[in-house]
Chains A and B, each alone.
Chain A
Amino acid sequence: MTSSSPAPESPRSPLQRFLDERLGLASLRALLEHKTVPEHRHAFWYVWGGMVLFLFLVQVATGILLLLYYRPGAGEAYESVQFIVTRVRWGWLVRSLHSISANLLMLALLVHLASVFFLRAYRRPRELTWVTGVGLFFVFITFGFSGYLLPWNQLAFFATSVGTEVPRAIPWVGPFLVKLIRGGPDVTGATLSRFYGLHVAILPATTTLLLGAHLYLVQRHGMSVPRDVEEKGPPMPFYPNFLLRDMIGWFVALGVLVTIIVLAPTAPMGALFPFDALFDPKHLLELGTKADPFASAPEGIKPEWSFLFMYQTLKLLPAKLAGVDGETLGVLGFGAGAAVLLLVPFLDRGASGLPPNAFSRVGGAVVVALGLVLAGLGTWSMHVLGHPLGVAGGLVAAAWIVVSVLLDGRRAGRRAGPSLLFPSLGWLAVAFIVVMTVIGRIS
């Protein structure tokens, strides 16, 4: 994007003049009119950031409305949600919008994250834009996890019991973390209060800070154009050309949202593909029964789709790997993965045309080994499950990582062009997450 200083304009009405004198609206208008968006063959991916923002605003609006009736507490939470969906006028719509749009938001966020990653838009000088964006990604994951418990139904209770148990595998601090998250040794009303505070105060405040920083940085640096992509022509004005594109996307998303909300409860499985294949909106819209800590866990209980790959991976890991607890290794592995994701702009120096650093060179070998191990594990687990597609997927993943790293080595040797290591790593991560999610859904 390019931007220049706004040209002052004469307000057209007394009211506009009044507001302009006090709020500086003319500058804002000028900013909008001069903001541009690059036009090239990958420009489609730019709309996904706006899509995430739109769905987030839906979350904020519906979340505030839910707050008017929701009562936190083990004795009241379930009943208040039941009241919202049965007695409050349009309450069913508000709750459904909040629940389904949260899932669509995660989908849009993943597309946005992946597009920025694969277009390598994080390269200098947008490293901090990436960091704030990944920070927002982690915040939204926490939003989803904390919000899932708030209806205090049976499924949420047991899913949270399982989910909050995971950090226990972290050496030394695990038990303390579990107690900190739950507000005690078990999931109780104290956990609900804690998650409520997290969901409506701590996370929104964090989001405001990170989103403000993210949008400021986007505005400051503009949209990134991939190094090897030629622009079609002059940049497109943000207002109204790109905003209109954004708005078309938002209204389409709104249509998808209301269609899922109304049709999902009675739609046969597959009718809302791909949504019901991924996150089962029918199950999301059902309130189910109130949480009962003394009841047995619902049969076949699984975490929500966005956590399914982690759950499935931990499930498939052997009890001991090289003498270390398998679950501990898994949790530490995911932690390391999150750290790598956050630090990608600083590790992938090739994206900015800089010579490869130690991570790219030495770490490349480790990544290859890890990739092969993961591909092997995926192949093995799918073979155990008797799914030939999984075996093929594992082999393709292994071949891909080997070929791409060999290419990366050649390019890194010439110190020319962007390193292929990170896209390969990204594709491997995507393949791994998709395969594990699919296994988690079908097993």
Chain B
Amino acid sequence: MKRAASWLLALGSVAASAAAQDAALTAAPTATTAVSACVACHSDPARVQRAEAREPVANLADDIHAQRGLSCHDCHGGRPDVDLAAPDAQARAHDATAGYVGRPAPADGPAFCGRCHSDAATMARFNPDARVDQETKYRTSVHGERLAKGDTKVASCISCHGRHPGGEKSAALAHGIRAVGDPQSPVHPLNVAATCGRCHGDAQYMAEYGIPTDQREEYEHSVHRAALVEKEDLAAPTCNDCHGNHGARPPEVESMAFVCGTCHAKQAELFRQTKMKPAFDEAELGECIVCHGNHGIVAPSDELLFHAPLAEGEAQTGCYTCHPDASDAALAISTAVHADLGALEGRIAEARATLADADAKGMPVAEAEYELTGATDALVEARALVHLFRHEPVAEACTRGTKVADSALAQGHAAIEAFYFRHRWLGVSLLGIAFVVLSLWLKLRQVDRRWRASAPAGPAAR
């Protein structure tokens, strides 16, 4: 009877409910810390038997929203101040006319979160610098576009920001959302690859989309991941740095150099100056990734420019991938560039080893070591200039670097020579000192004998 009455009440007030929901959607959160009826009820197993229904309150402590003073009704509406002892407490609390929204449908998730996160005035209360374009961006993402078309398998807010108590593969739970900077947040830089990989690494889940599912596996072996995880450089790129996060989509072929150039600005700028750029665009080649790869990008090596004769079954790499003909003029450039870079690198290594040897011998070579950093800078510059695909600029930088390395090397040799000179000098000095001491001692014996022979007996007065 009570249940029927509740339904009748709800049906009867449908118009009022729609208006109230609109009001709730636009109302600013109240940011209260008082224990609401929602929390009291949903934490009480006697009132709420389903564990799933108690989960929101159980994880409230970890939730950034709760930590900022928000409570259930700030998102879900309803009446948080009902008297739980009243027989119609649940109906009053869950009253749609009071703006109550239960679990939003997947398609409504972005709008549900966007009520606050797209509202600059609301967000400014918690973080004056907070972004409010997440929902807008999401609508432009592949995820957002597919969701709009009714594909509810795609990721929305909770998929990435929610909690996955059962591990990577478990379903996302909306409560217990941590701050992005929290190392336990699934969208913390160290966890992003795992979060994206939860879906994108699942071949069965992704089967209907026809896209590869080995991105995460490739990324795990990449130089970017090594920088992020092993060097603990949180600025190193993970999935969202190249694909975007809320507006995630694969970069277009023409914009690849811009994406990589976000960090590798010099290389991207140089590449855009070359005739390779329009040629790549025309051939619909993905610029940087053609030579360097994408998800599994490894540390670039000078070997990309030159490859010794391949072993049986070995794949071509670098320039040879597109220029396999040995008589190709482009290979003459890459071979010359490779030789220049190798020569400079070798000279720097030789200078560094010589200076280390001198340093181990206790010779002061700090100035030369500092000078050698000029050669390393030139090598870095020369490697960047490779992206011009011309020999002259690289040769010029390498020549400059070699001069510096030669100077440091010469200082290292001079220091080592000085070390041995000092030892020879010490030997000669000690011989000279020994000779003088011996001479003085012989003279002393002589004068002592003369003195004792001539001295009167008996001690002198004190």
* Interface residue ranges, A against B (CB under 8 Å): 2, 36, 38, 82, 85-86, 92, 225, 230-237, 240-241, 244-245, 247-248, 251-252, 254-255, 258-259, 262-266, 282, 285-287, 289
Question: What chain A residues lie within 8 Å of B437 (beta carbons)?
Answer: 248, 251-252, 255
A266 to B357, CA, bound (A): 11
Question: What chain B residues lie within 8 Å of A241 (beta carbons)?
Answer: 444, 447-448, 451
Question: What chain A residues lie within 8 Å of B367 (beta carbons)?
Answer: 82, 86
Given pairs A38-B460, A241-B451, A244-B443, 13 additional interface contacts (CB within 8 A): A82-B364, A225-B462, A233-B455, A234-B455, A234-B458, A234-B460, A241-B448, A251-B440, A255-B429, A255-B434, A258-B430, A258-B433, A259-B430
A240 to B363, CA, bound (A): 42
Question: What chain A residues lie within 8 Å of B451 (beta carbons)?
Answer: 236-237, 241
Closest 5 CB pairs of A and B: A265-B362, A231-B459, A262-B426, A244-B444, A255-B433
Interface residue? B4 (CB, 8 A): no
Question: What chain B residues lie within 8 Å of A264 (beta carbons)?
Answer: 362
A266 to B363, CA, bound (A): 10
The contact sample of 7 A-B pairs, CB cut-off 8 A, is A2-B460, A36-B460, A82-B367, A244-B444, A248-B437, A255-B434, A286-B362
Question: What chain A residues lie within 8 Å of B456 (beta carbons)?
Answer: 234
B433 and A251 contact, CB distance less than 8 A: yes
Question: What chain B residues lie within 8 Å of A289 (beta carbons)?
Answer: 366
The smallest C-beta distance from B330 to any residue of chain A, in angstroms, reads 47
Interface residue? B48 (CB, 8 A): no
The smallest C-beta distance from A88 to any residue of chain B, in angstroms, reads 12
A245 and B444 contact, CB distance less than 8 A: yes
Interface residue? B461 (CB, 8 A): yes
Interface residue? B322 (CB, 8 A): no
Interface residue? B126 (CB, 8 A): no
Q: Which of B363-401 contact A (CB under 8 A)?
A: 363-364, 366-367
The smallest C-beta distance from A220 to any residue of chain B, in angstroms, reads 15
Q: Which of chain A's residues has its CB closest to B448's CB?
A: A241
A254 to B433, CA, bound (A): 8
A92 to B425, CA, bound (A): 13
Most buried by A among B425, B440, B455: B440
Most buried by A among B362, B366, B434: B362
Interface residue? B125 (CB, 8 A): no
Question: What chain A residues lie within 8 Å of B425 (beta carbons)?
Answer: 262
B363 touches which one: A82, A230, A259, A265 (CB < 8 A)? A265
Interface residue? B436 (CB, 8 A): yes
* Interface residue ranges, B against A (CB under 8 Å): 360-364, 366-367, 422-423, 425-426, 429-430, 433-434, 436-437, 440-441, 443-444, 447-448, 451-452, 455-462
The smallest C-beta distance from A162 to any residue of chain B, in angstroms, reads 25
B440 and A248 contact, CB distance less than 8 A: yes
Q: Which of chain A's residues has its CB closest to B452's CB?
A: A233
Question: What chain B residues lie within 8 Å of A232 (beta carbons)?
Answer: 459
The smallest C-beta distance from A66 to any residue of chain B, in angstroms, reads 16
The smallest C-beta distance from B447 to any residue of chain A, in angstroms, reads 5
The smallest C-beta distance from B157 to any residue of chain A, in angstroms, reads 43
Q: Which of chain A's residues has its CB closest to B461's CB?
A: A2
A43 to B426, CA, bound (A): 32
The smallest C-beta distance from B140 to any residue of chain A, in angstroms, reads 46
The smallest C-beta distance from A181 to any residue of chain B, in angstroms, reads 30
The smallest C-beta distance from A123 to any residue of chain B, in angstroms, reads 11
Question: What chain A residues lie within 8 Å of B360 (beta carbons)?
Answer: 266
Question: What chain B residues lie within 8 Å of A262 (beta carbons)?
Answer: 422-423, 425-426
A233 touches which one: B363, B422, B434, B457 (CB < 8 A)? B457
Evaluate whether A82 and B458 lie within 8 angstroms (CB atoms) in the complex, with A241-B451, A251-B436, A265-B361 already known. no
Evaluate whether A259 and B426 lie within 8 angstroms (CB atoms) in the complex, with A244-B443, A248-B444, A252-B437 already known. yes
A231 and B430 contact, CB distance less than 8 A: no
Q: Which of chain A's residues has its CB closest to B429's CB?
A: A258
Q: Which of chain B's residues has its CB closest to A85's CB?
A: B364
B422 and A240 contact, CB distance less than 8 A: no
The smallest C-beta distance from A92 to any residue of chain B, in angstroms, reads 8
Q: Which of chain A's residues has its CB closest to B456's CB?
A: A234
A258 to B422, CA, bound (A): 10
Q: Which of chain A's residues has its CB closest to B434's CB?
A: A255
A235 touches which one: B430, B444, B460 (CB < 8 A)? B460
The smallest C-beta distance from B434 to any residue of chain A, in angstroms, reads 7
Q: Which of chain B's residues has its CB closest to A96's CB?
A: B422
Question: What chain A residues lie within 8 Å of B361 (beta carbons)?
Answer: 265-266
Q: Which of chain A's residues has its CB closest to B363's CB?
A: A265
Q: Which of chain A's residues has its CB closest to B444's CB?
A: A244
A370 to B317, CA, bound (A): 82
A230 to B430, CA, bound (A): 38
Question: What chain B residues lie within 8 Å of A248 (beta carbons)?
Answer: 437, 440-441, 444
The smallest C-beta distance from B207 to any residue of chain A, in angstroms, reads 56
Question: What chain B residues lie within 8 Å of A287 (beta carbons)?
Answer: 364, 366
Most buried by A among B363, B455, B460: B460
B426 and A263 contact, CB distance less than 8 A: yes
Q: Which of chain B's residues has its CB closest to A264's CB?
A: B362
Q: Which of chain B's residues has its CB closest to A84's CB?
A: B364
The smallest C-beta distance from A249 to any residue of chain B, in angstroms, reads 9
The smallest C-beta distance from A348 to any residue of chain B, in angstroms, reads 18
A2 to B443, CA, bound (A): 24
The smallest C-beta distance from B441 to any residue of chain A, in angstroms, reads 6
Question: What chain A residues lie within 8 Å of B436 (beta carbons)?
Answer: 251
A240 touches which one: B447, B459, B462 (CB < 8 A)? B447
Question: What chain A residues lie within 8 Å of B422 (beta carbons)?
Answer: 262
The smallest C-beta distance from B412 to any residue of chain A, in angstroms, reads 12
Q: Which of chain A's residues has its CB closest to B433's CB?
A: A255
B457 touches which one: A82, A234, A236, A255 (CB < 8 A)? A234
The smallest C-beta distance from B411 to any residue of chain A, in angstroms, reads 9
B459 and A255 contact, CB distance less than 8 A: no
Question: What chain A residues lie within 8 Å of B444 (beta carbons)?
Answer: 241, 244-245, 248
B447 and A244 contact, CB distance less than 8 A: yes
Question: What chain B residues lie within 8 Å of A255 (beta carbons)?
Answer: 429-430, 433-434, 437
The smallest C-beta distance from A268 to any residue of chain B, in angstroms, reads 12
Most buried by A among B366, B437, B443, B462: B462
